[in-house]
Amino acid sequence: MSTRKLRTRDQTSNQATLGSHLAKIDFLPTAFLFLWQATPSADSAFFFFTTNELGFEAEFLGRVRLVTSLASLLGVWLFQRFLKGISFRKILGWSIVISTVLGMTSLLLVTHANRTLGIGDRWFSLGDSLILTVMGQIAFMPVLVLSARLCPPGIEASLFALLMSIVNLSSLLSQELGALLTHWLGVTETNFDKMWLLVLIANLSTLLPLPFIKWLPDGDPQEVNDRSLPPTELYEHHATGSMAEQPFMPDLVPEFITTKEEA
């Protein structure tokens, strides 16, 4: 069998396998993640607020970035150590609510109420970024775990890439909606009169997907979901010598030897 025919057969088989597997996957959890990640974001406007209004230099912003990077590692550790056994529905639901409440602390910085409390802008920004990043990482870890659990055996890489593309698309939509909301409120790089309203709307909008929380599985997240494939398909896909795992060399080597002997 020629290499071209073998590759065509493998491609046709892989496409048919991918299509059959996708038809059996429940995409409601993915839809929930999309709705959650697509809510408007005020990050772009908040960046201009910190640089133009509060006067944060690039050096200080680099320190904030370092703190948030360390906070992300702390969030991963906390999730792995204490929260990995909690169901997706509970941890995402509570994470959304707690993150929304903690996100309201940004209003203190926007309205300069932190100065009334005797807390400087830089210290408040560092502490606020630390807490919000830890909570955000704890909220995002179930997204990665859930995406991995949705992938049936055999097409893990392809489907995980598809799910991450959907999440990235929702993040892009979030930025665009935030930019549109910023424009409607008249917030610019020099006018921050309604910045507090932008932050308030952006935080409250993260609660909008909560009515669809039942789209998420409520079982043990540590259980590997093999129910996406029937037992026969699991065996055929992972069996030694199956079409999907058959290499090219065993078919090509005999032809090469035969041609050499005839010559």
Instruction: Please state the domain extents for the chain.
Output: 27-215
Three-state secondary structure call for residue 151: coil
User: Residue 235: which pLDDT band, with cuts at 50, 70 and 90?
Assistant: very low
Tell me the pTM: 0.72
pLDDT number for residue 139: 87
Closest CA to 114 of 104, 200, 58: 104
* Chain position carrying tokens 């200080």: 60
Q: What are phi and psi of 132, to 5 degrees?
A: -70, -35
Report which listed range, 3-7, 81-85, 232-236, is most confident. 81-85
Inform me whether the pLDDT recorded for 91 exceeds 80: yes
Q: What is the pLDDT of residue 247?
A: 44
Q: Which amino acid is residue 103, in one-letter code?
A: G
Distance CA 125, CA 154 (A): 45
Residue 131 to residue 138: CA distance in whole angstroms: 11
Q: In the chain, at which residue ranges do the beta strands (DSSP E only) sit?
A: none
Rounded distance between C-alpha atoms, residue 171 and residue 166, angstroms: 9
Q: What is the 3-state secondary structure (H, E, C) of 63-97?
A: HHHHHHHHHHHHHHHHHHHHHCCCCHHHHHHHHHH
pLDDT above 70: percentage of residues in the chain:
73
Question: What is the mean pLDDT of the segment spanning 246-261?
Answer: 45
Instruction: Tell me the CATH architecture of domain 27-215.
Output: Up-down Bundle (1.20)
Given a cut of 60, whether residue 159 has pLDDT beyond it is yes
Beta carbons of 77 and 141 less than 8 angstroms apart: no
What is d(CA 108, CA 114) in angstroms, rounded to the nearest whole number? 5
> Quick count: other Cβ atoms within 10 Å of Cβ 189?
12
